[in-house]
């Protein structure tokens, strides 16, 4: 069994801050941010919460799944997993609110925090449930309001992040699932968000980790899946920094055309970045049924991983 993505949705807050807005808040410039990260703007959830954004993205993913299969309804969803590193609601799980909002009365619900690897870990978790026979359909969501968590005077960190949510409905389908997940707690202090504090990131350390670990984990995945790089149509990577994605492509010896990006508009939205990108690619027609797609996430933990996804 594997997990086929049959519906996607996203929620992007209206308020958009380009780099010049940040240059008015701290000692930075549009030129520096573009060159070092590829980011031009980020969206700020000044009027919505993590749980509200998660619900909106979920509603759209459900509508999308219903469009391709008009018999599919919220009651077909067996599990809802919301990935977030900090939510406005700590109890119950945000996923319980999502279940109530979309009318998913049969789903069991919980939240998962694997930081920027969250969506990848949630996908692998629900596909594992599918292989055990526990669930047939899953709703997984990444929702983040990082504008509340960063120190807006810390130019080394704040310029990178943005807010938003993305969701996917995953259906158990015949096929083989391939997945790899890793964490290294000995490097937990590279990226932290401690209660009552703002986010701390050793950018250089995380950068070097990503450049080394992401190509390695993709190679490990492909080896386990008995796939060649030429079999891969597209790599959907966590949208952290354009230079990281370019570096990964270079180390893999792959063409940049296989690495779609949208971080110039949204910045790094942590666990929401992959599902927002998947939603844009699906709606824009760039993802077609039968394509071989590799997804890879990486971030705080340190945690990282990869999976083949079916669309
Ligand atoms: O999604 C979770 C995972 N997170 C990541 O993947 C983030 C990985 N790290 C990064 O993307 C990069 O490390 C950053 C974008 C955060 C920083 O870029 P960098 O090229 O690593 O910059 P740096 O920290 O090495 O700083 C280089 C210089 C320093 O100045 P000096 O000491 O050379 O004079 C910084 O003070 O750039 C300075 N600097 C800035 N200058 C203008 C740092 N941030 C800024 C800024 N504007 N915003």
Examine the domain organization and report whether 218 and 99 are in the same domain.
Answer: no
| One domain, residues 100 and 151 | yes
Q: pLDDT tens digits, residue range 292-307?
A: 999 999 999 999 999 9
Per-residue pLDDT reduced to its tens digit, 124-163: 999 999 999 999 999 999 999 999 999 999 999 999 999 9
Residue ID of nearest Cα to ligand 1 atom 30:
156
Q: Is the pLDDT of residue 35 over 90?
A: yes
Among 203, 209, 264, 302, residue to substitute to test ligand 1 (most atoms within 8 Å of Cβ): 203
Measure the CA–CA gap between 103 and 100, rounded to whole angstroms: 5
Q: Is 37 in the pocket of ligand 1 (CB under 6 A)?
A: yes
Whole-number mean pLDDT of the chain? 97
- Looking at the structure, do residues 187 and 102 belong to the same domain, yes or no? no
Q: Which two tokens stand for residue 127?
A: 């596909």
- Per the structure, how many domains does the chain have? 2
The pLDDT of residue 310: 84
Tell me: do 195 and 283 sit in the same domain: yes
Residue 26 pLDDT class (50, 70, 90 cuts): very high
CA of 125 to the centre of ligand 1 (A): 33
Q: 56 or 289: whose pLDDT is higher?
A: 56
**203-225 vs 242-252: helix axis angle to the nearest 10?**
40
| 90 and 188 co-located in one domain | no
| Whether the predicted pLDDT of 104 surpasses 90 | yes
The reply to whether ligand 1 has any atom less than 6 angstroms from the CB of 210 is: yes
**Residues 214-257 pLDDT 10s:** 999 999 999 999 999 999 999 999 999 999 999 999 999 999 99
Give the ligand 1 atom nearest the CA of 159.
48
- 291 and 191 within one domain: yes
> Strand 234-237 vs strand 293-299: parallel, antiparallel, or unpaired?
parallel
| CATH code at position 294 | 3.40.47.10
**What pLDDT band is residue 268 in, cutting at 50, 70 and 90?**
very high
State yes or no: pLDDT of 25 exceeds 90.
yes
User: Residue 221: helix, strand or coil by DSSP?
Assistant: helix
The answer to whether residues 144 and 24 belong to one domain is yes
Residues 133 and 185 both lie in one domain: no
Question: Does 212 share its domain with 254?
Answer: yes
Is residue 85 over pLDDT 90? Answer: yes
Confidence of residue 165 (pLDDT cuts 50, 70, 90): very high
Query: With a 6 A CB cut-off, is 20 part of the ligand 1 pocket?
Result: no
Q: Is the CB of 240 under 6 A from ligand 1?
A: yes
pLDDT (mean) for 180-187: 98
Establish whether residue 61 lines the binding site of ligand 1, counting it when its CB lies within 6 angstroms of any ligand atom. Answer: no
User: 159 is in which domain, residue-wise?
Assistant: 2-173
- Among residues 153, 173, 193, the one where a domain terminates is 173
The DSSP code sequence of 25-91 is TSS--HHHHHHHH---EEE--SS--HHHHHHHHHHHHHHHHHHH-TT--GGG--EEEEE-SS-S--S
CB 123 within 8 A of CB 142: no
Burial class (CB in 10 A: 0-12, 13-18, 19+), 12: buried
Q: What is the pLDDT of residue 41?
A: 98
Work out the number of other CB atoms within 10 angstroms of the CB of residue 175.
Answer: 12
Q: Does 88 score more than 90 pLDDT?
A: yes
Q: Which residues contact 235 (CB under 8 A, 6 or more apart)?
A: 218, 248, 249, 254, 258, 259, 293, 294, 295, 296
The answer, yes or no, to whether any atom of ligand 1 lies below 6 A from the CB of 239, is no
Give the span between the Cα atoms of 65 and 68, in whole angstroms: 5
Output the pLDDT for position 286. 96
Domain boundary among 149, 173, 197: 173
Tokens of 161: 């992040």
From 17, 31, 117, 207, mutation site for ligand 1 pocket: most ligand atoms within 8 A of C-beta:
207
Average pLDDT on 203-209 reads 98
Q: What is the mean pLDDT of residues 191-211?
A: 97
**Residue of 21, 39, 159, 204 to test ligand 1 pocket, by largest number of atoms within 8 Å of CB:** 204
Q: Among 173, 192, 209, where does a domain finish?
A: 173
Same-domain check for residues 32 and 87: yes
For residue 105, pLDDT over 90 is answered with yes
Catalytic residue positions? 116, 238, 268
**This prediction's pTM:** 0.97
> Based on the domain organization, do 132 and 231 belong to the same domain?
no
Q: Which residues pair with 171 in a beta bridge?
A: 4, 137
Question: Residue 108's pLDDT band (boundaries 50, 70, 90)?
Answer: very high
Asked whether residue 157 falls in the same domain as residue 204, the answer is no
């Amino acid at each position: 069994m594997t997990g086929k993505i049959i519906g996607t949705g996203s929620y992007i807050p209206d308020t958009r801050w380009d780099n010049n807005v940040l240059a008015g808040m701290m000692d930075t410039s549009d030129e520096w941010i573009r060159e070092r990260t590829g980011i031009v703007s980020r969206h700020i959830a000044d009027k919505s919460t993590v749980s509200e954004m998660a619900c909106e993205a979920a509603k759209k993913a459900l509508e999308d799944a219903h469009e391709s299969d008009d018999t599919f309804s919220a009651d077909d969803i067996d599990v809802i997993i919301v990935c977030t590193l900090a939510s406005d609601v700590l109890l119950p799980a945000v996923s319980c609110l999502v279940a109530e909002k979309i009318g998913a009365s049969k789903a069991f619900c919980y939240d998962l925090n694997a930081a920027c690897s969250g969506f990848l870990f949630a996908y692998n978790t629900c596909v594992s449930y599918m292989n055990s026979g526990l669930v047939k359909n899953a709703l997984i969501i990444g929702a983040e309001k990082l504008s509340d968590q960063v120190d807006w005077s810390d130019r080394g960190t704040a310029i990178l992040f943005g807010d938003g949510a993305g969701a996917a409905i995953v259906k158990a389908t015949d096929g083989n699932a391939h997945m790899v997940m890793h964490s290294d707690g000995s490097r937990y202090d590279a990226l932290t968000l401690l209660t009552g504090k703002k986010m701390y990131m050793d950018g250089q350390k995380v950068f070097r980790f990503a450049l080394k670990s992401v190509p390695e984990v993709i190679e490990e995945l492909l080896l386990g899946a008995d796939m060649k790089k030429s079999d891969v149509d597209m790599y959907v990577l966590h949208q952290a920094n354009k230079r990281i994605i370019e570096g990964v492509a270079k180390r893999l010896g792959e063409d940049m055309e296989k690495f779609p990006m949208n971080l110039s508009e949204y910045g790094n939205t942590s666990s929401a970045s992959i599902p927002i990108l998947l939603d844009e690619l699906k709606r824009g027609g760039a993802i077609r049924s039968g394509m071989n797609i590799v997804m890879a996430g990486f971030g705080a933990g340190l945690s990282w991983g990869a999976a083949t996804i079916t669309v």
